Chains A and B, each alone.
Chain A
């Protein structure tokens, strides 16, 4: 049972138009900043869900790629003097290469043990950035002065313009994910998730496919990291904290893992909930934990699954 095709595609242009219209209808700076922030998290969640939703690789160390993207973009612009967009691209490519290493180590184990290993790798990145790599990353003091993009003389320091930049990046991420999903490569990944033994018996080298999707995942996670550093003009090792890796897992699952819109819904719901709860109480992480537990038990398909069920029920009544 599926949504009709027009529903499955209509939300793209609708979302794009809504986002692009936001600065022109006079939304204030704070709202625009918040939406930009959500979009960047959505890119990160989509990237995470490439590995988890498509190939079934639960990485609990994905902050590593986000952080790498942020630091690489920051370092290349501030210290190497590169233009922002070139630096961002190089950071993403670097993260894809890093993902090969990451996969090479973590894919020695499968299933849950993969998750444990990624957790250790993420923690290694955090500790390394505080100690060995501190001359580059600034350690716990952080790294300031990351610029905004420069392109066609547009002033990206204005929140509205930077939002457009992020919307473009977001749409590219969505499009590439949809393409991967529809491609033979994506189909093989889904086969790997569904039945790994069978996929390898069919002659697919499962490991190469997994490393391939980890590369794509790392690439886009680093994109989110670079954009995040540019949005905030600042980075500290808290971007590598395990709770960042945890948050992205929560977002993907809350939204509906393995779907295209799920990560977007999840990131939006998570950040909005956090904002609302944060204003009411300082205890938002705990309440979020309870919400998340309820999702795991009651709604394992996430919001996307919930909407689908409601839609199908309404459809049945109409006919």
Chain B
């Protein structure tokens, strides 16, 4: 049972990240390589806020907001300038951002890994169907479900969601209707990045907070997105849970081979079905 809980919690965490990545790609056409770096930044901010205030919950609320604000600034200063160019330039630009963010984190917090403890009350384990599982992992699963539901609701049902979808479908028409498209794009980038930071805060108590964490997770995230189909949110959910489960099972039964096995699975999926497992559209960018 505990393997299932671990798998689901890793999957939910990946899904939080993949949703932000997919949102930014779907609406702006930008693959944000710096997504993992923003996730890391979220975790570091959370660590700092916990140092100052002692409350994990304040960190959970504030850290994503700070990262979102910083990302909005990044969008205005840099990313906005390459929307009209080839996709490669956007990848390269966000790649440069990784270097800058990594360096900033290193100069502020140093190389030593930081530890963030689970909030009081969630640090223990609880009994679930006769096996001990970590309460914090259960919290992650619940939190992930709530956040993604809220996310879908905003995107699919609210007026803001309609504006966002309108801008992505036909930005010229949207701007004719009086919508400030470039402002909406800044918002989208900020929200997507905020999701990454949210993932970072939630992941803080599970893993050591260090500069490598961003890159390790972004590759899993890319695999989720390729397996699930970029822009396909249900596919991402399935992909995230699949990768999470494999990581959890592998960690338990063959920790030596798990890194290689995850990639092998990914390669297997690509060879069998390059469109991803859950998408019928051909993906080209």
Interface presence of A140 (CB below 8 A): no
- A117 lies within 8 A of B270 (CB): yes
Known contacts A289-B100, A289-B103, A297-B81; A131 and B256 CB within 8 A of each other: yes
| Chain A residue at smallest Cβ distance from B81 | A297
| Chain B residue at smallest Cβ distance from A289 | B99
Among A120-128, A149-157, A171-179, A219-227, the stretch in contact with B: A120-128
Known contacts A119-B222, A296-B93, A297-B82; A109 and B103 CB within 8 A of each other: no
- A116 lies within 8 A of B82 (CB): no
Point out the residues of chain A lying under 8 angstroms from B102, CB to CB. Answer: 285-286, 289
B residues with CB within 8 A of A: 31, 78, 81-82, 85, 87-89, 91-93, 95-100, 102-104, 106-107, 215, 219, 222-223, 225-226, 230, 256-257, 259-260, 263-264, 266-267, 270-271, 274, 283-285
Q: Which of B91, B98, B103, B226 contacts A117 (CB 8 A)?
A: B226
In the bound complex, how far is the Cα of B221 from the Cα of A123, in angstroms?
Answer: 13
| Chain B residue at smallest Cβ distance from A246 | B95
Residue from B82, B91, B106, B264 with most neighbouring chain A CB atoms (10 Å): B91
- B274 lies within 8 A of A292 (CB): no
Residue from B215, B260, B266 with most neighbouring chain A CB atoms (10 Å): B260
What is the CB-to-nearest-CB distance from A193 to chain B, in angstroms, rounded to a whole number? 10
Known contacts A286-B103, A297-B78, A300-B85; A292 and B257 CB within 8 A of each other: no
Point out the residues of chain B lying under 8 angstroms from A128, CB to CB. Answer: 259-260
Interface presence of A136 (CB below 8 A): no
Interface presence of A105 (CB below 8 A): yes
Number of A-B contacts (CB under 8 A): 121
- A131 lies within 8 A of B91 (CB): no
Point out the residues of chain A lying under 8 angstroms from B81, CB to CB. Answer: 297
Interface presence of A111 (CB below 8 A): yes
Residue from A127, A290, A296 with most neighbouring chain B CB atoms (10 Å): A296
In the bound complex, how far is the Cα of B263 from the Cα of A120, in angstroms?
Answer: 7
Q: Which of A115, A293, A300 contacts B97 (CB 8 A)?
A: A293
Known contacts A58-B91, A246-B95; A283 and B103 CB within 8 A of each other: yes
Interface presence of A242 (CB below 8 A): yes
Interface presence of A32 (CB below 8 A): no
What is the CB-to-nearest-CB distance from B232 to chain A, in angstroms, rounded to a whole number? 13
What is the 8 Å Cβ interface bit string for chain A, positions 281-304, against chain B (1 contact, 0 not)? 001011111101100110010000
What is the CB-to-nearest-CB distance from A248 to chain B, in angstroms, rounded to a whole number? 12
Instruction: Name 22 A/B residue pairs within 8 A (Cβ), A-sorted.
Output: A105-B270, A109-B226, A109-B274, A111-B284, A112-B87, A112-B88, A113-B285, A116-B31, A119-B222, A120-B223, A124-B264, A127-B263, A128-B260, A132-B257, A285-B102, A286-B103, A286-B104, A289-B99, A292-B92, A292-B96, A293-B78, A297-B82
Known contacts A123-B219, A242-B215; A112 and B100 CB within 8 A of each other: no
Q: Which of B85, B88, B97, B270 contacts A109 (CB 8 A)?
A: B270
- B257 lies within 8 A of A131 (CB): yes
A residues with CB within 8 A of B: 56, 58, 60, 104-105, 108-113, 115-117, 119-121, 123-124, 127-128, 131-132, 242, 246, 249-250, 253, 283, 285-290, 292-293, 296-297, 300
What is the CB-to-nearest-CB distance from B88 to chain A, in angstroms, rounded to a whole number? 5
In the bound complex, how far is the Cα of B268 from the Cα of A104, in angstroms?
Answer: 12
In the bound complex, how far is the Cα of B88 from the Cα of A119, in angstroms?
Answer: 14
Known contacts A286-B102, A296-B89; A105 and B31 CB within 8 A of each other: no
- B270 lies within 8 A of A290 (CB): no
Residue from B96, B106, B271 with most neighbouring chain A CB atoms (10 Å): B96
Point out the residues of chain B lying under 8 angstroms from A283, CB to CB. Answer: 103, 106-107
What is the CB-to-nearest-CB distance from B224 to chain A, in angstroms, rounded to a whole number? 11
In the bound complex, how far is the Cα of B92 from the Cα of A4, in angstroms?
Answer: 31
In the bound complex, how far is the Cα of B274 from the Cα of A104, in angstroms?
Answer: 11
What is the CB-to-nearest-CB distance from A116 to chain B, in angstroms, rounded to a whole number? 4
Q: Which of A111, A127, A242, A285 contacts B103 (CB 8 A)?
A: A285
What is the CB-to-nearest-CB distance from B112 to chain A, in angstroms, rounded to a whole number? 15
Point out the residues of chain A lying under 8 angstroms from B260, CB to CB. Answer: 124, 127-128, 131-132
| Chain A residue at smallest Cβ distance from B263 | A124
In the bound complex, how far is the Cα of B259 from the Cα of A123, in angstroms?
Answer: 9
In the bound complex, how far is the Cα of B89 from the Cα of A297, in angstroms?
Answer: 8
- B99 lies within 8 A of A285 (CB): yes
- A293 lies within 8 A of B96 (CB): yes
